Each structure stands twice: as structure tokens, then as C-alpha cells.
């Protein structure tokens, strides 16, 4: 049975990806911070799923947990880096702690986990890696400087990893969601002066006339994980309901 490791799998896009990959026949290893929420998500993924709760921004925790997971469940055929967070604020308003928190969750966690997962994929002959970038990788939002910076970096990192992975048979791509109704996005709305207006504006922004769901993004992840995308690497796939196609009016 093929194996998929999914970070940020306790909720939102990560959970949606884990469920979809399980439906597609993968044995899913769900990674995240909340043991209770991971257990609930793993139950939705079926009896072959496994979960491990630890802080993916901690080098000590990652170095402690990943070797035993790889020994027990094997090298990943697919890795989905879906751990993410939004820290709201203009650059001058952010504390150093907030800045580093944003970068640690959205970017450094990829590096720390990759130190273990990547060599395992190389030794196994290749696989697929999917990073979760954003429409914010291409265009900025006000009061969202650290998030925008982190997601721009994720898109650049996708290209660098794709070049490094190609000789080893590892394909690396990014999915770039628009407004996807997740707890993370809801937190962003709640931080605005008028949360209801922010939510309504997001729903109306896409030409398709709604916000997306984790299942919408999971479909794109499943494609990039599958042999159907065997000649696709180093690129990004927008899942935004047409948001980036429209000139603001």
C-alpha cells in the first residue's frame, strides 16, 4: 500500500487532503499538534491511518518523532506540507515573536520535516511532494505581511525543491488556494474590523461566487500526487474559483 504523510492534518486543508488520499487508497500518516483532533481526522481516514501529535516547528520534536515513523510506516510515496497559520498585521505592527511564529509554521516546518522525509523518498526511488502555497504567493493582502511573505517563499521553495528532486524521481508542486473556508481563514476574518463583511467579501470575490472547501483543494492535491501528473513538477496550481483571473473593478 502506498504511503502518504500529511502535515497540518488535524483540520482544514490538511485534513481534507488526508481524507481524500485515504479514499484514493493511500495509507495516511497524519501529522499535527492536536492529538484529539488528529485522532478524529484519522478515524475518518479509515483503519489503516495513523497519527502522531508533535510540534513540526521544533527541530527537537521532529528529530525525535520522524525516524520512528519512517521505520514503522515506511518511506512516503506522497508528502503534503499543509501545516499553516495566519498572523495578521502590517509589517511594522508585528512583534518579532509573531514574525518568527508565522515563518516557523508556514516555512520552517517544511525544512525540518524535509530533512527526514526527503532522504527516505530518494532511497525509495522517488515520489510526489505537494506544498500548500496561496493566492497570496502572487498578490498581497493588506494587514497580512508575514503571511504573504511566507507564502511567496513557499512558492519559490517549490521550484528549488523540484530542481533538486528531479534527478531522484521526486516531483514537487504547489497548490495555491484562494479563499477556502477553514478555521485558519475564519481566524483571519475574526481579526478584521467587520468579520461579517470580510467573510461576505471573500465569498463574492471569486467569479464562481463562493468560497472554496478543503475538499476542493484536496482534489488538486490528489491529482498532483497521482501518476496522472507524472510530467508535472516545479509548478503551481491555483484553486481559487477564478479569483486571480479577474481584473479588480
Active site (catalytic) residues: 147
Q: Based on the number of CB atoms within 10 Å of its own CB, is 211 exposed (0-12), middle (13-18) or buried (19 or more)?
A: buried
CA separation for the pair 37, 10 (Å, rounded) = 5
Report CA dihedral (174, 177, 183, 184) to the nearest 10 degrees: 70
Query: Among residues 166, 169, 176, which one has the least CA distance to residue 234?
Result: 166
184: cell is: 485558519
- Phi, psi of 42, deg, nearest 5: -65, -35
CA end-to-end distance (rounded Å), the chain:
50
CA distances from 213 to 76, 99, 198, 200, 217 (A): 26, 27, 17, 15, 7
Q: Taking every pair of C-alpha atoms in the chain, what is the biggest distance, in angstroms?
A: 54
Amino acid at each position: 500500500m502506498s504511503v502518504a504523510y500529511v502535515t497540518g492534518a488535524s483540520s482544514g486543508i490538511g485534513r481534507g487532503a488526508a481524507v481524500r488520499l485515504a479514499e484514493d487508497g493511500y495509507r495516511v500518516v497524519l501529522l499535527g499538534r492536536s492529538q484529539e483532533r488528529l485522532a478524529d481526522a484519522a478515524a475518518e481516514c479509515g483503519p489503516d491511518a495513523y497519527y502522531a501529535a508533535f510540534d513540526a516547528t521544533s527541530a527537537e520534536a521532529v528529530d525525535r518523532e520522524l525516524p520512528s515513523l519512517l521505520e514503522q510506516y515506511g518511506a512516503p510515496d506522497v508528502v503534503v506540507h499543509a501545516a499553516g497559520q495566519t498572523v495578521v498585521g502590517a509589517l511594522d505592527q508585528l512583534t518579532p515573536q509573531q514574525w518568527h511564529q508565522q515563518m516557523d509554521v508556514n516555512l520552517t516546518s517544511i525544512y525540518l520535516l524535509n530533512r527526514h522525509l526527503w532522504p527516505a523518498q530518494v532511497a525509495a526511488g522517488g515520489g510526489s511532494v505537494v506544498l500548500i502555497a496561496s493566492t497570496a504567493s502572487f498578490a498581497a493582502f493588506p494587514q497580512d505581511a508575514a503571511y504573504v511573505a511566507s507564502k511567496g517563499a513557499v512558492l519559490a521553495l517549490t521550484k528549488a525543491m523540484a530542481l533538486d528532486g528531479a534527478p531522484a524521481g521526486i516531483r514537487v508542486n504547489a497548490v495555491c488556494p484562494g479563499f477556502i473556508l477553514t478555521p485558519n481563514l475564519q481566524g483571519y476574518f475574526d481579526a478584521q474590523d467587520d468579520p461579517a463583511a470580510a467573510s461576505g467579501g471573500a465569498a463574492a470575490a471569486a467569479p464562481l461566487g463562493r468560497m472554496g472547501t478543503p475538499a476542493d483543494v484536496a482534489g488538486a492535491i490528489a491529482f498532483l500526487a497521482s501518476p496522472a501528473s507524472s510530467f508535472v513538477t516545479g509548478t503551481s496550481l491555483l484553486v481559487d474559483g477564478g479569483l486571480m483571473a479577474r481584473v479588480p473593478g
